[in-house]
Structure 1
């Protein structure tokens, strides 16, 4: 009978310990998710809200130097997304900025203001 009570007590301690470890792990994950030195932007869209406010949702990663145009993208959206306002000037094979199609390969050079 005494051994059964000891086993229940050990089980209760282990159960409480695992709960607090899980709680600590979740707290560490949340604090790491909102650090300021991450290399991506937080936004629901490529346009800023009123007063420059942005909601903290991760969706944009830094663009590679070689970029392949995706479905529905324009040079304007790529420029906003990648921080390169001179895409046409740096890509002489683009003769008409309105004639951008999925699969087109372009060179991206982000401006220094976007690099963190």
Structure 2
């Protein structure tokens, strides 16, 4: 193999590598752009609808809620009596599941 054919082979290899690199960059850019076009998943929409619903029979305590605020919101003044697993009414934490019987009329 002569020196000129050796350089020609290297030059061709560089052109092929540059073309492959360019194609990969375009593909990567297309994937990024497609990621931004994703529509919100139905599960996320369903979760939002659950959060917007009025109080149900089973209620999950949220951040910053107390039994008093839940009682006012849902119209159930007997939360502690209906939930024997609540030993201390002041010890309510996010994620606690409680049973409610709403006295408010539902729309």
Output the TM-score relative to the length of structure 2: 0.49
The answer to which structure, 1 or 2, has the higher relative contact order (CA under 8 A, 6+ apart) is 2
Q: TM-score, normalised by structure 1?
A: 0.45
From the two aligned structures, give the one with the greater helix fraction: 2
